[in-house]
Amino acid sequence: MSDKQKLLVVEDETTLRETLMYNLKREGYEVIGTGDGSEALELAREQKFDLIVLDVMLPSLDGLSIVRILRKEQRTPIVLLTARSGEVDRIMGLETGADDYIVKPFSLGEFLARVRAVLRRAAPEVSAKLEAGDLSLDLIGRKAYRGGEELRLSHKEFDLLAALIKNTGTALSRDRLLQEVWGYDFPGDTRTVDVHIRWLREKIEKDAAEPKHIVTVRGVGYRFE
């Protein structure tokens, strides 16, 4: 498994596509490329990308149509490449849902800066805050609140609660929680999880003896409700 961010580059001018791909790879991204609109749509549906660089004029299916279709299905950030500045008004006026655009010809430095900016804008939105009922977690400030009041959680309690809320409705085994919160190399055993769950329940449940949020799933582990 790779933790590299994965980008799709859709551009039918082969030299430009290869140049962009080469430089994005050098920046440390995993990059897949195509010059065909229909193939781009297929790829975007089959694989998960962190960002799509999309030329407007493409064979078989144009970039603006691709954006319109994808926006009904996913929120993957899209940066449009357009040949004429005259197209920009139309692109933005149509409110296609693209996150940014670059007018050709552009410098590589400008292109890479735009890509980085869009990725940066996209990332915190999905991961900065977790909410579940009257609980909310600020993942950047590492603060937890219940009904607006800050909870005093230890480092591990915070991580454990975040892991549970991220998987709301799914039963998580003690081993899985150990791996997610303590890491693979942690020498402790699964009772560590039980102890921290007990502490966490005392802090977040109205009645720790009758937990409504962190439910025990017999033979498996715990589930957040």
Alpha-carbon dihedral 6, 168, 127, 91, rounded to 10 degrees? 60
Nearer to Ca ion, 55 or 159 (CB): 55
Query: Tokens representing 100?
Result: 């940014």
Strands 221-224 and 214-217 come out as: antiparallel
Nearer Cβ to Ca ion (55/99) = 55
Q: Check binding of 62 to Ca ion (CB under 5 A).
A: no
The reply on whether position 55 binds Ca ion by CB under 5 A is yes
Smallest gap from residue 81 Cβ to Ca ion (A) = 8
Q: Are 135 and 213 in contact (CB under 8 A)?
A: yes
Which of 47-55, 91-99, 155-163, 164-172 is the region at the interface with Ca ion (rule: CB under 5 A)? 47-55
Smallest distance, Ca ion to C-beta of residue 92, A: 19
Interface residue with Ca ion among 43, 57, 132, 208 (CB under 5 A) is 57
DSSP string, 8-20: EEE-S-HHHHHHH
Contact map string, positions 5 to 44, toward Ca ion, x by CB under 5 A: -------x--------------------------------
Site for Ca ion contains 87 (CB under 5 A): no
d(CA 48, CA 137): 26
**Closest approach of Ca ion to the CB of residue 57, in Å:** 4
Beta carbon nearer to Ca ion, 43 or 57: 57
Q: Is 103 in the site for Ca ion (CB under 5 A)?
A: no
Burial 48-72 (b: 16+ CB within 10 A, else e): ebbbbbbbbbbeebebbebbeebee
Q: What is the DSSP letter of 115?
A: H
Q: Please state the closest distance from residue 194 (CB atom) to Ca ion, in A.
A: 58
Element (H, E) at 132: strand 129-132
Instruction: By CB under 5 A, name the binding residues for Ca ion.
Output: 12, 55, 57
